[in-house]
Structure 1
């Protein structure tokens, strides 16, 4: 997977997680160590999937995935950032919704592949928005199910927490969808459109007509 050739922010995240895991295990903090190692393993998963499938994942995507995993699993749960910073959950929801909006753009372009349906920018943007919001809704269902069956407290303030999560999911989805619309308009200069452009360029076989 060429770990040493990955971007330095990703390698820095790996070093932090492995350092936290080693410190936790030395102090016999088994849960902290397990979560740190699990988070580290999950950051490697996109590299493995890309290698097996032959899909090139841009470095920006890899770093964003690793940051999100560390922020939600390790910092959020283990270091209690959700309680220490009221805005932590909001930022993560917006970031994940933006990412799923971009994923919706990519998925739509792969489905179209130049056949029958013309990939009109507004069509792609609408699909991307709906895709990202749907993922957010399913996540809220999962949180509700976990709280009701396992006794967890993921929906900390109940209805208010759920509604704010859905609102910020919509905002993030709108940003991701807008990036897809701008990309298909041929505009340049925005980091999100640049990431989309790199993905399409490096994986041209996925988007060419059958």
Structure 2
């Protein structure tokens, strides 16, 4: 068994375990008639199964590395954080996730530019500094939008998403944004450092994997013959 096969099997087992845990949580929520949790776990299950749905419906493949990172993040934030109340049990849980999300969204920002650069019909090119800036801005913007979402949920549904035992709602929001920004800054600076020196960046492996799994996406469209 080669390394790729071994990694794929590991990803499959991790995904299966997470799905089983959330499905059991769904059944418990139904039994206890906690309907908000039923809705939330159902949504988390749908998000977790989205890569499978995309493949079956559109033959669109998300590389296992990206898929498993996304699934673990969904599980840690949505299921453990909200359903199992880790946000209340562990004051640092939310902060670790915000810092991690800044890094992950920064990586997504890099991948977006890399992919657009590889799709021949777009033919764009950005210097390393602008790629890093886009990655940073993308991650921080999504983090800010999430804080707006938390504020709206607290304002209209009183969910307490911005409440914290140790400090005020404003401080909670600011620390979340600071940690999002810090995570985004780290990945953007690292990306710029590697790109400007023409060194291999780990995102290159993710990109290569994505292209290999979705060759049709990167084929140049044939121009229609003029009449």
TM-score, normalised relative to structure 2: 0.75
CA displacement at 1:23 relative to structure 2:
4.0
Identify the residue that residue 13 of structure 1 maps to in structure 2: 18
2:98 to 83, 93, 97: 93
Q: Which residue of 1 aligns with 2:185?
A: 174
Q: Secondary structure at the match of 1:155?
A: coil
Which runs of structure 2 are paired with 1:4-43 in the superposition (5 Å)? 7-26=12-31, 30-43=35-48
CA distance in 1 between counterparts of 2:73 and 2:116 reads: 27
Q: Give the equivalent residue in structure 2 for 1:136.
A: 143
Q: Please, which runs of 5 or more residues in structure 2 have no aligned partner? A: 1-7, 222-227
SS at 1:7 equivalent: helix
Candidates 73, 78, 86, aligned match of 1:81: 86
Structure 1, gaps ≥5 residues long: none
Name whichever of 13-22 and 155-164 sits farther off. 13-22
Measure, in 1, the Cα distance between the counterparts of 2:30 and 2:125. 55
CA displacement at 1:151 relative to structure 2: 2.4
Q: How many residues get paired?
A: 205
> Which residue pairs with 1:145 in the alignment?
152
- Residue equivalent to 1:110: 115
Distance 1:179 1:40, change over 3 A: farther
Residue in 1 aligned with 2:127? 120
Q: Distance in 2 between matches of 1:139 and 1:183?
A: 29
The answer as to 2:60 corresponding to 1:55 is yes
The alpha-carbon distance between structure 1 residues 10 and 143, as it changes in their structure 2 partners (threshold 3 A), is same
RMSD, aligned CA: 2.9
User: Deviation of residue 127 (structure 1)?
Assistant: 0.7
**Alpha-carbon distance change, 176 to 128 in structure 1, aligned in 2, over 3 angstroms:** same
What is aligned with 1:165? 176
Per the TM alignment, residue 129 of structure 1 is displaced from its structure 2 partner at its CA by: 0.9
What is the CA deviation profile of residues 5-63 of structure 1, one whole-angstrom value per residue up to 9, with x for unaligned ones?
Answer: 76211111112112333344455555545543432222001322344444321112111
> Structure 1's 77 and 102: CA in aligned 2 closer, same or farther, altered over 3 A?
same
Greater shift after overlay, 38-47 or 76-85?
Answer: 38-47
SS at structure 2 position matched to 1:36? helix
Distance 2:12 2:136 in 1: 29
Deviation at 1:153, TM superposition (A): 1.5
Gap change, CA 1:150 and 1:127, over 3 Å in 2: same
